[in-house]
Amino acid sequence: MSKPLRVRRLTDHEGRQIQQIVRRGGGRSEKSIVRWRRALVVQASAGGNTVPVIARLVQTSEDRVREMIHRFNDMGMASLDPQWAGGRPRQITTEDEAFIVATATARPESLGQPFTRWSLRKLAAYLADNDVRLVAVGRERLRQILDVHDVTFQRTKTWKESNDPDRDAKLDRIEHVLEHYPDRCFAFDEFGPLAIRPVGGSAWASAGRPQRQPANYHKTHGVRQFHGCYSIGDDELWGVVRRQKSAVNTLAALRSIRARRPDSQQIYVILDNLSAHKGPAIRAWAKRNKVELCFTPTYSSWANPIEAHFGPLREFVLNNSNHPNHVVLTHRLHAHLRWRNANARGQRRQWDHSCRTLRRSPPAGSTNARRLMTTDAPTAVTAPTTSRLSNPS
């Protein structure tokens, strides 16, 4: 049996770039929307999601998803940019453009020039008079070429890469459990902070009459964290909104995951290595309950399968919103989760433990039913297409 198609292992730099593009969302231009959708496909595949799941996530065909994955494996980050052609024959060749980009991104001092950075005038003058390759180009055309190749004038930044000595071993373990035990594999992470303030976004509107949000930034409600859980085998997302990240809240989320497979067999949970995720109490509980915690390497949260599914939450619940308080935000967040889980698959597999739990559920409207719906740490198994609200803690 052939292995499921997925993108190659991302480098730390590629992982951060992909995650940044997905978190920022699609912009106004057609190019930025295409780039965002392709980055979402790459991130979802890198997180271990299968081609059918990714196709439903980005609302496209499975063949198109496979094509994007193959293009990324061949071209890398350049595959995210749409390629449009046309117009008169080019006067500057592809080799000339490659030389221009290489020169512009090199430090002038390394080429014998007494500068710490290039200006367009200095760069054009050097290209027209050097010992390697002569390229006659004007400043405006030079700016256009750099823009096409995503070379922009920007501030320098510090950088960091994963310094985890077990990076490869952790990624290998995550890939192994995703490939061999998808029905017993889960993912957990926090999504936030969730703040109560107007958030800009995008929406359909009449030309010249965009939807507007009030410019009110008084943050008087504090912040919350959505503790999200994702079942790889069921393609189901659920979670609870909490006041803060903590070991107690993490343990409650892990218990809700364990309740999805109450058969006393081993399950696997992928999560990042936040200190609140790996305390002694959590490790002891995981050992007693046959839960293997598969931690992502440091600075490599892109390897968590749940990260790709947080993108739609931000795009369709937070962006273009002005929630009055956290109660309303929580209701709308869970309403989106119910819609997402109900529309995730045409035919969702029904697990035996879910059926047993539904048969044991108290009648609607009873005191026990109301108590079950308002509990703060949901550990009981719920129907796959529902998502319960809870009081934040």
**pLDDT tens profile 283-324:** 999 999 999 999 999 888 889 999 999 999 999 999 988 888
Contact (CB, 8 A) for 392 and 224: yes
Least confident of 63-72, 279-288, 307-316, 379-388: 379-388
17: number of Cβ within 10 Å: 17
Q: Establish if 325 belongs to a structural domain.
A: yes
Least confident of 119-123, 133-137, 316-320, 342-346: 342-346
Rounded to an integer, the average pLDDT of 204-217 is 83
Q: Which residue has the tokens 């749940």?
A: 306
pLDDT of residue 33: 84
Tell me the H-state helices in the chain: 12-24, 30-46, 51-58, 62-75, 94-104, 120-128, 139-148, 167-180, 247-259, 280-288, 307-313, 326-342, 352-360, 367-374
Least confident of 41-55, 82-96, 162-176, 270-284: 82-96
Better-scored residue on pLDDT, 29 or 20: 20
Of 314, 309, 334, whose CA–CA distance to 195 is shortest?
Answer: 314
Better-scored residue on pLDDT, 387 or 180: 180
Q: Do 322 and 360 fall into the same domain?
A: yes
Residue 316's contacts (CB-CB under 8 Å, 6 or more residues apart) are 336
pLDDT for 146 beyond 90: yes
d(CA 393, CA 391): 6
Q: Do 100 and 68 fall into the same domain?
A: no
Q: Do 116 and 65 fall into the same domain?
A: no
Q: Establish if 238 belongs to a structural domain.
A: yes
Q: Establish if 386 belongs to a structural domain.
A: no
pLDDT over 90, % of the chain: 51
d(CA 183, CA 191): 24
Task: For residue 292, list its beta bridge partners.
Answer: 268
pLDDT over 70, % of the chain: 83
Q: Do 242 and 114 fall into the same domain?
A: no
Q: Establish if 73 belongs to a structural domain.
A: yes
Q: Establish if 387 belongs to a structural domain.
A: no
Q: Establish if 297 belongs to a structural domain.
A: yes
Q: Which residue has the tokens 């007494």?
A: 114
pLDDT for 111 beyond 80: yes
The range of the structural domain enclosing residue 55 comes to 12-80
Q: Do 280 and 188 fall into the same domain?
A: yes
d(CA 314, CA 319): 6
Residue ending a domain, among 31, 57, 80, is 80
Say how many domains are in the chain: 3
Contact (CB, 8 A) for 229 and 239: yes
Q: Do 321 and 350 fall into the same domain?
A: yes
Q: Do 274 and 246 fall into the same domain?
A: yes
d(CA 53, CA 37): 14
Q: Do 246 and 99 fall into the same domain?
A: no
Least confident of 25-39, 55-69, 106-120, 337-351: 337-351
Q: Establish if 385 belongs to a structural domain.
A: no
pLDDT for 189 beyond 50: yes
pLDDT of residue 82: 78
- Most confidently modeled of 49-63, 86-100, 156-170, 204-218? 49-63
pLDDT for 349 beyond 50: no
pLDDT of residue 28: 61
Q: Which residue has the tokens 């929406």?
A: 203
pLDDT for 208 beyond 80: yes
Q: Establish if 189 belongs to a structural domain.
A: yes
pLDDT for 238 beyond 60: yes
Tell me the H-state helices in 223-306: 247-259, 280-288
Of 371, 374, 287, whose CA–CA distance to 330 is shortest?
Answer: 374
pLDDT for 168 beyond 70: yes
